[in-house]
Structure 1
């Protein structure tokens, strides 16, 4: 009778232990996943993006409040030694077992994420991914974009005159020069000069006076002879 009672007690204890085991795993379970996300990807999307430039880490399906320690190691095709830690951090997951890191970048190359957390079974969650910012390097000019200081066809360069601007007209003037106004004595207002510098108008006046004087003398001589 005592043997039966002891056996029954052992069976009951084993049953309690088995029923408690799932509850213990539910508290700190290894039932979540982590994704690599491009910075433009919504954190609610459960997809992994193994080729990124600016990115973040996104956790899904873990238990509420689990503590996470993560780090990223250089893996291949970069200037760092394989296994060298390049980024690290920690997170406390929310009530839904979800959380994300801040956005980050890495030099071009291949890397590996190690995601450690409370209650993990055996080893960390791992993700291999590639950083590729080749198409987003600053300072590169896209086709069709103007480079600073570059002149477009048809643009005027500083100091350069367009044809027809600032140039004197090459067409000769057809208007005749204005004639000088005549003076009171009938000579031109702009008197021409003789070879020795004397104005022609003045000489003409002197000559006229001499002629008139000579005529007067001749007339007087003729009058005297008649008397």
Structure 2
């Protein structure tokens, strides 16, 4: 009895391990992806770190569906942000990666801001914007 309990526990642990490392290509198309703020016009290699305190920056998307596109909006946030800024992104490359602007950097007046990113989805399935 004890031995079968241990074997069942091992099988359950292995099943969880395989579920945890399931590849990204197994994800169904839809409201996928992550967005990050990166300092300056680029980075040495595609990194998924977030740099929220910057003077110049670009928006970098990861793990979206290949070919996906959409819009973004940056809103001034209390206590010091001001203004609203809009743009478009995409299409994402085959790896689901995109950046905006593509080759330069953006800058905003000093303050607090919040980024919202929407993906154009077929038939508008549920899912809100991604935020930073």
What residue ranges of structure 2 are gaps of 5+ in the alignment? 1-26
Question: Which residue is equivalent to 2:67?
Answer: 65
Structure 1 residues 79 and 48 mapped into 2: Cα distance closer, same or farther (>3 Å)? closer
Question: Which residue is equivalent to 1:30?
Answer: 31
Question: Which residue is equivalent to 1:134?
Answer: none
Question: Which residue is equivalent to 1:225?
Answer: none
Mapped partners of 1:70, 1:63: distance in 2: 16
Query: Who wins on radius of gyration, i.e. which is larger?
Result: 1
What residue ranges of structure 1 are gaps of 5+ in the alignment? 1-24, 128-227
TM-score (norm 1): 0.40
Mapped partners of 1:59, 1:65: distance in 2: 12
Question: Which residue is equivalent to 1:20?
Answer: none
TM-score (norm 2): 0.66
Question: Which residue is equivalent to 1:76?
Answer: 78
Mapped partners of 1:126, 1:66: distance in 2: 17
Contact 1:43–1:58 (CA<8 Å) still a contact in 2? Answer: no
Encode CA deviations 1:95-140: one digit per residue, 9 max, x unaligned: 111011121000000001110003464210001xxxxxxxxxxxxx
Could you list the structure 1 runs, at least 4 aligned residues long, displaced by more than 6 angstroms after superposition.
Answer: none
Question: Which residue is equivalent to 1:98?
Answer: 97
Encode CA deviations 1:25-77: one digit per residue, 9 max, x unaligned: 72x32221010000153450011111111000000011110112111111123
Contact 2:67–2:90 (CA<8 Å) still a contact in 1? Answer: no
Q: Which has the higher contact order (CA 8 A, sep 6+)?
A: 2
Contact 2:33–2:62 (CA<8 Å) still a contact in 1? Answer: yes
Mapped partners of 1:36, 1:96: distance in 2: 19
Higher normalized strand content (fraction of residues): 2
Residue aligned with 1:31, SS: coil
Q: How many residues align structurally?
A: 99
